[in-house]
Amino acid sequence: MDRIVVGTRGSLLARWQAGFVARTLRVAHPGLEIEEKIIVTEGDRLSAGSSGKEAWVGSSNPARLGDAGRSPPSADAALWNAGGKAVWVKEIEVALLAGEVDVAVHSMKDVPGELAPGLTLVAIPERADARDAVVSREGSGLVGLPTSARVGTASLRRACQLKALRPDFQVEILRGNLDTRLRKVADGAVDAAILACAGLDRLGFAGRISERLPIERMLPAVGQGALAVEIRADDQRTRAFCQALDHRETAVAVLAERSFLARLGATCRTPVAGHAWLCGEDLVLRGLVGRPDGTQVLADQAFGRVADAEEVGRGLAETLLCRGAGSILAECG
C-alpha cells in the first residue's frame, strides 16, 4: 500500500491544515495511507518560552507594537530577529530533506520567499477568505470601537494599517495560538483583536467575527488564506500524488504576491502587504509598504495577464520602491 508522511506544526490550526491535505489526498487516491508527524519549530519554542505577558498596555510601557523606532522585546524580538518567517518552517524542512516526512504543510504567509535548496512547492490548494477580521469583546466592528481602544495583534502589517486608520488605537502585542488569542479578547486583555478570517473559519470560530475587513481598508499579508504543500524537488512519486491539491487561480495569485515580496526584499520587521486576484485571464495585484506606526503608508496596484504573474509582482514592487519604499525598508529592516 502506498504511504505518505505529512509533517506539520502541532497547533490546532496547523493540524487542521494537515488534516485537510490528508483528506483531499485520500479522496483523490483511494487506499493511500497517510501518517501525520508533529514537528516543533523554533517559532513554537520561542513562543512557549516567552514571559507570558500577552499585551503591552498603556503609554508608560516603552514598547507597544508599532511605536516608531522601537523594537519588540523578549520573545517577540527573538521571533522577528531569529530568521524571520523561517522560524515557523525550518525544522519541518529539515525533516523533509532527511526523508523523515514526505510532505510539509505550511500556512503560505509563513513560507520564506526563498525555499531551502532541494525543496519545492508542489501545490497550493484553493485559498480560503484572505481578509482580516475584527474580533471584539462587545461585538463592535473597527469603526465602532471606542477612542483609545486596545487592539491586539502580533503583526506589524496590521499594526501599521490600524494606526493609519485610527491613530487613537493602542495597538498591543497579542501572541499565542488562535484559541489563546480569542480567550484573551474574552477575558479583557484587549478590547479587540485582528485575526485572519481563514483561521477563524477553518476552526469553526466564524461566529466570533465582529467584522470582516475589506482589503481596501486592511490589505492582507502575502499568501494569507492559502496553504503551501512542500516536497523534495526530486521526489516524483510524491509530486504525482500531490498534483490533485493544486488550484490554478490561487497558485497564480500567490505567485504574483510572492514575486512582489521577493523584489522588495522585505524582512519581517517591515509592514508589507500584498493581495492578488484573477478576473478571467487578467490579474490584479495590490501592494503596500509602510512604517510600523502608520505615519507613512505607500500603496498601489498593478494589472497584467495571468501568464505574466511574476512580472506583475516585480513591477508593482518597482513602483513602490520608486515612490520611497526603499527608504522605509532600509530604516525598518
Q: pLDDT tens across 21-52, in order?
A: 999 999 999 999 999 999 988 877 776 654 33
Cα–Cα distance list, 4 to 64, 99, 125, 266, 312 (Å):
44, 11, 18, 35, 36
What residues have CB less than 8 Å from 27, skipping those under 6 apart? none
* CA–CA dist 74, 66 (Å, integer): 16
**Enclosing domain of residue 319:** 247-333
Q: In this model, does residue 262 exceed pLDDT 70? A: yes
475589506: which residue's cell?
214
Residues of the chain above pLDDT 70, percent: 88
244, three cell numbers:
490533485
Q: In 3D, which of 251, 326, 316, 320 has the Cα closest to residue 284? A: 316
Q: What is the CATH number of the domain that holds 333?
A: 3.30.160.40
* CA–CA dist 209, 139 (Å, integer): 8
145 burial via Cβ count (<10 Å: 0-12, 13-18, 19+): buried
* CA–CA dist 212, 217 (Å, integer): 10
Q: What share of the chain is helix, strand, coil (3-state, %, to 5)?
A: 40, 20, 40
Q: Are residues 139 and 198 in the same domain?
A: yes
Beta strands of 291-326 (E only): which ranges?
Answer: 297-305
| Residue 57 placed within a domain | yes
φ, ψ of residue 137 to 5 degrees: the values are -65, -35
**Beta-strand pair 192-196/132-136:** antiparallel
The tens digit of pLDDT for each residue in 178-191 reads 999 999 999 999 99
| 109 and 223 Cβ atoms separated by less than 8 Å | yes
pTM of the model: 0.88
Beta strands of 17-154 (E only): which ranges?
Answer: 33-38, 103-107, 119-123, 132-136, 150-153
* CA–CA dist 284, 185 (Å, integer): 35
* CA–CA dist 153, 91 (Å, integer): 25
Q: Are residues 324 and 267 in the same domain?
A: yes
The tens digit of pLDDT for each residue in 131-158 reads 999 999 999 999 999 999 999 998 999 9
Q: State the total domains in the chain.
A: 2
| Residue 161 placed within a domain | yes
* CA–CA dist 58, 318 (Å, integer): 38
| 287 and 158 Cβ atoms separated by less than 8 Å | no
| Residue 224 placed within a domain | no
| Residue 85 placed within a domain | no
Task: Quote the Cα angle for 84-254-333, to 5°.
Answer: 30
The tens digit of pLDDT for each residue in 54-97 reads 333 333 233 455 554 444 434 444 444 444 567 878 999 999 99
Q: Are residues 207 and 332 in the same domain?
A: no
Q: What is the CATH number of the domain that holds 145?
A: 3.40.190.10
| 102 and 222 Cβ atoms separated by less than 8 Å | no
| 256 and 279 Cβ atoms separated by less than 8 Å | no
Q: Which helix (H) or strand (E) holds 228?
A: strand 227-232
Q: Are residues 191 and 321 in the same domain?
A: no
* CA–CA dist 297, 230 (Å, integer): 33
- Which one of the listed residues 44, 110, 132, 191 is annotated catalytic? 110
Q: Are residues 63 and 179 in the same domain?
A: yes
Q: Are residues 279 and 198 in the same domain?
A: no
Give yes or no: 246 in active site. Answer: no
The residue among 157, 186, 212 that closes a domain is: 212
Q: Are residues 251 and 203 in the same domain?
A: no
| Residue 114 placed within a domain | no
Q: In this model, does residue 291 exceed pLDDT 90? A: yes
Q: What is the CA radius of gyration of the chain?
A: 19
| Residue 115 placed within a domain | no
* CA–CA dist 305, 282 (Å, integer): 5
Q: Are residues 197 and 281 in the same domain?
A: no
* CA–CA dist 92, 294 (Å, integer): 34
Q: Are residues 50 and 169 in the same domain?
A: yes
* CA–CA dist 40, 64 (Å, integer): 28
Q: In this model, does residue 103 exceed pLDDT 80? A: yes
| Residue 54 placed within a domain | yes
Q: Are residues 141 and 64 in the same domain?
A: yes
Q: What is the pLDDT of residue 220?
A: 98
pLDDT band with cut points at 50, 70 and 90 for residue 283: very high
| 238 and 4 Cβ atoms separated by less than 8 Å | yes
Q: Are residues 194 and 67 in the same domain?
A: yes
Q: Are residues 66 and 136 in the same domain?
A: yes
| Residue 219 placed within a domain | no
490546532: which residue's cell?
12
